[in-house]
Every structure is written in structure tokens, then in C-alpha cells.
Amino acid sequence: MATSATSALSRAGATALKRVELSRPLRLALEVGVIRPDDDVFDYGCGHGTDLEFLAALGHGADGWDPNHRPNVKPKPAAIVNLGYVLNVIEDPAGRAQALKTAWRLATRALVVAVRTTDEVRFVSNGTIHADGVITGADTFQKFFTQAEARSYIDDILTVQSIPIGPGVLVAFTDDAAEQQWLDNRSALRRRVRRLRRIVEPRKTLRDQTYEQHRDILRPLEEFVAQRGRLPTDDEHGWTQQIIDTFGSLPRAFQVLRHVAEHPWWEDAAEDRRQELLVRFALARLRKRAKFTALPIGVQLDVRALFGSYKAACERADDLLFSIGDAKTLRQAATKSPIGKQTPDAIYVHIDATDLLPTELRVFIGAAGALIGTVPDATLVKAHLDKPRVSYLVYPDFDTDPHPALAESWVVDFRELDVRPHDYRNRENPPVLHRKELFVAPDHPRYNTFKRLTQQEDRHGLLDERLTIGTRDGWKHRLEKRGWSLRGHRLVRQ
């Protein structure tokens, strides 16, 4: 690292505090799968090294360098390198760029970068404008970045395309193959959980003997088709050979599954996977779309089976991406959505149910995610239908409070290419939610509980005056006026 960068880090690190939990950048990197279970991590500018202790406890090889607290450690390559809140404390632009380049050269798979964002300026007391940042009351330099500025800075210095994984936290992969594998792994779990539900117990007939006899052998094939919407190749998985030995070929084995099915669920599976890939390729156009050969082999096979060619898939994805610039398209998508609470100017949906939205809305929300990454603790997503914005809403007590209050929101503005946070925790009369079952998927564990409460409240006319019940005080007044109170998710007479 350049001398100017080292001295700046030394000044900032002298006041570093020991934390009692993993830092937010590394926690996010673990949550979204950037850091895999077998990855080693090097923390460049690690402070006291608290993160190293947490990572080691989680089973990761972890080491770090810091000019104040670990100056004798020699920086070394690692699968994941963390540069957490380092760039914002380096006053000299040349030293700042050098620190970023040095950390990047150490990463063999990905670099995680975290910076202070402009919304954090409000926490600086007695600050003085200096160069392109602020000298704080503690006599340390801080540069604050907008989300778009941080991404542009990293991309320009490293000549890469970084990906936001949270406000002020971005990841840059060392090659397209590593990035595409990460993208595929992120969606794999949700795809498996939701799509396996479409496989129902087969009807029973006299011709089901083959299925019953070989049920265990056929199960992996059944699950594969439900998830990917196509047959595997003969050598794609280890279990395929046993099926081929038993039935002669994978298509013949699949004919057994087709025969016993009550409905052609494989057609739904193919369409779901097709739409999922269209969303992925549409959002990839916002950056630099990967070459076909950089895609995981399983995705390559999906593309050939479901679209015929990568070119055809990308052309359809481009049409989809351009369509969301039309507000009419978004409104039509919201109207036909099987999930979400709709208002005249927006549609709200639970963060875990966005994959059930129409494809156009998934791309619209995905474009916001490409700018902000993951919002910690976000409960709902609000797609604005009258302006190019997406809001992430935090309701900490969504599951337990029958009418939870809004605690925090993050607004992604496409026109400004910026992210604006709003804190509602100290407001005396924050907004509250009603009709919670509309936000979640029918398989949400508390869906029926939410729905029963709404039916009770509807029956007694409590939800009629929409303009007055949208805040905590207004809702409380409505309940008291009508002589009701709430005991959990149950309406009771006062």
C-alpha cells in the first residue's frame, strides 16, 4: 500500500473499536453466498481482527493485516479478500486507489468492498469539509459515497463490473465463471423449495406397478425436472446411470413419470425456469452480459433446452428489459399478479414472495436490487407504478404484530441512481399494515392466521375508512371507537 494510504489507515485504526459481532460486510457476504463454506478469507485493514475470530469459529481459514494492530502480517492471497471501510478513511486519492488495487490483487475469487454512504453523514458531529470528504470531531478523515458512486469508483479503478450486495457493500469477482456460479447458487435453494411442491402423489391405477417398484430410483429424476424444466443429460449427475440401466434411457424413464402424473407439471416447471432465466439475462444487460461459455454448464444446458440458443434467450430478455420502461406495462403486470397488495400507485409484496410476481415486476425489482443489493431485515418490497422507484420496507414485528409499524425504508430512485434511507423508529405516529395475508405467499406459515384476522376485521367494518387507519394512532382510534381490541391475531370485544 502507498505510504499515504498506510498513514491514513494508521490514524483511523488508532481509534478502532472491538466489536462483539461479525461486521456487516462479511455478514452480508456470508448470507448471500459470496463466502462459501470452504473459502479462506483475508481481511485487508482488519483493525483489531475481531472478524478473524468469528470467521475462524465458523470454520474458515482467516487472516488479516492492519497497520496498527497487525503490522507484521504479510498480506497473502485468499479466495475472498475483505476491504471493509478502508477506502473512506484514505484522504489521498492516489493512496485510496492503490489500496483498492492491492486488495484486488490478493483475491483469487472475489473482493468484498464496504464504504460509508452519504446517508451516514448525519452521524458526524463537528465535521469540517476537507478535500473530497470530512474531518470528523475525532480528527479522522471520512469520504462518503453514494451507492452509484461507490460502484463506479470500483469499476473504474479495477476495470471490472462490481455487484452491490447491500447499501455501501459491493463484490467484484475475479472472472465471469465465478460470478455466474454465484448467481446460479443464489437462486438454487428457493427454486428447489418452491418447485418441488408441484410434484404431487401420483394417481393410483393398475399400470402404476413400474412406478411403485422403482420409486426411489425415479425420485431424483422427478426432482430435477421439477427444478430445471428439462431432462438431464446422460452424464450430468451420478444417479442417471442407474436410471438408464433400469429403463434403457432417461426419456423412457420419464414416460413412467408422465403416465402417473395427474397433470403435466413438467410444463409448468419448464415455463417457470424459462421466466427465471429471462429475468436473469435481462438484469445482466444492465451490466455486461456474460459469454455463454462462462455460464455454469447446467445453465448452458437449460438455455439450449428451453430457448434453443443463447442468442434467442438474450433477445427475449432484452425485449423484457425494455418493456419495463413503460408504466402501462408495469400496471398491467400488477393487475394480473397472483400475489401482493395493490394500491392505485404501487404494489407491495413480501421479500420472500417476489419470485411469484409476474416477470415484468421481477425485472423492475431486480433492477433496484442491482443498485442496492440486499437490504438487511427488509420485509416488504414496494414497486412504484407511477414513478421509477422501488422501496424496501422494514417491519421488524411483521410475523408477530397483527398491525406492525414501519421502522425503516430504503428508496431506490432510478432517475437519480441513488438510494435514500428513511428512519421511522422515533416517529410518534408511524404507518401500520393491514391485510397481511395479501403480502405473503399462500405457503407462508402464518398465512391462514393473517387471513382469519382480516376476515374478522372486515366483518365488523374496521377496514372501511382507509384514509384514517393507515397510521398507528388512526388505527388505535378506530378500534376504540368501535369497541374492539386485539389479542394477538384475534379481535376481541373491549
Whether residue 179 lies inside any domain: the answer is no
pLDDT for 149 equals 92
String of DSSP letters for 3-65: HHHHHHHHHHHTTPPPPSS--HHHHHHHHTTSS-TT--EEEET-TT-HHHHHHHHTT--EEEE
Whether residue 328 lies inside any domain: the answer is no
**CATH number of residue 41's parent domain:** 3.40.50.150
Position 470, amino acid: G
Do 359 and 317 fall into the same domain?
no
Is 50 exceeded by the pLDDT of residue 384? yes
Do 118 and 163 fall into the same domain?
yes
Cell triple for residue 310? 443463447
Alpha-carbon distance 445 to 449, whole Å? 9
Domain count for the chain: 4
Do 198 and 309 fall into the same domain?
yes
| pTM attached to this predicted model | 0.84
Whether residue 196 lies inside any domain: the answer is yes
pLDDT for 2 equals 45
Is 80 exceeded by the pLDDT of residue 188? no
Is 50 exceeded by the pLDDT of residue 168? yes
Do 192 and 168 fall into the same domain?
no
DSSP letter assigned to residue 132? T
Confidence of residue 185 (pLDDT cuts 50, 70, 90): confident
Q: What are the C-alpha distances in Å from 460 to residues 8, 358, 410? A: 64, 33, 35
pLDDT for 481 equals 92
Average pLDDT over residues 274-287: 94
Do 98 and 122 fall into the same domain?
yes
Is 80 exceeded by the pLDDT of residue 307? yes
Span of 128-137, 198-207, 290-299, 465-474 with lowest mean pLDDT = 198-207
Where does a domain end: 288, 323, 358? Answer: 323
Do 53 and 153 fall into the same domain?
yes
Whether residue 262 lies inside any domain: the answer is yes
Whether residue 329 lies inside any domain: the answer is no
Condensed to tens digits (0 to 9), the pLDDT of residues 450-468 reads: 999 999 999 999 998 878 8
Average pLDDT over residues 179-205: 66
Whether residue 333 lies inside any domain: the answer is no
Condensed to tens digits (0 to 9), the pLDDT of residues 208-266 reads: 778 888 889 999 999 999 999 999 999 999 999 999 999 999 999 999 999 888 789 99
Where does a domain end: 436, 456, 476? Answer: 436
Do 376 and 347 fall into the same domain?
yes
Do 284 and 397 fall into the same domain?
no
Position 206, amino acid: L
pLDDT for 199 equals 56
Alpha-carbon distance 21 to 53, whole Å? 10
Query: C-alpha angle 298/299/302, rounded to 5°?
Result: 90
pLDDT for 467 equals 81
Contacts for 124 with CB less than 8 Å, ≥ 6 apart: 134, 136, 137, 142
Contacts for 455 with CB less than 8 Å, ≥ 6 apart: none
Whether residue 274 lies inside any domain: the answer is yes
Confidence of residue 1 (pLDDT cuts 50, 70, 90): very low
Is 50 exceeded by the pLDDT of residue 206? no
Whether residue 332 lies inside any domain: the answer is no
Condensed to tens digits (0 to 9), the pLDDT of residues 340-353 reads: 999 999 999 999 99
Average pLDDT over residues 310-320: 97
Where does a domain end: 417, 436, 455? Answer: 436
Is 60 exceeded by the pLDDT of residue 64? yes
Do 266 and 132 fall into the same domain?
no
Do 407 and 467 fall into the same domain?
no
Do 107 and 155 fall into the same domain?
yes
Do 157 and 194 fall into the same domain?
no
| Domain coverage including residue 488 | 443-493
Confidence of residue 484 (pLDDT cuts 50, 70, 90): very high
pLDDT for 304 equals 98
Condensed to tens digits (0 to 9), the pLDDT of residues 111-151 reads: 999 999 988 877 676 677 777 878 876 778 889 898 999 99
Is 60 exceeded by the pLDDT of residue 273? yes
pLDDT for 16 equals 54
pLDDT for 205 equals 52
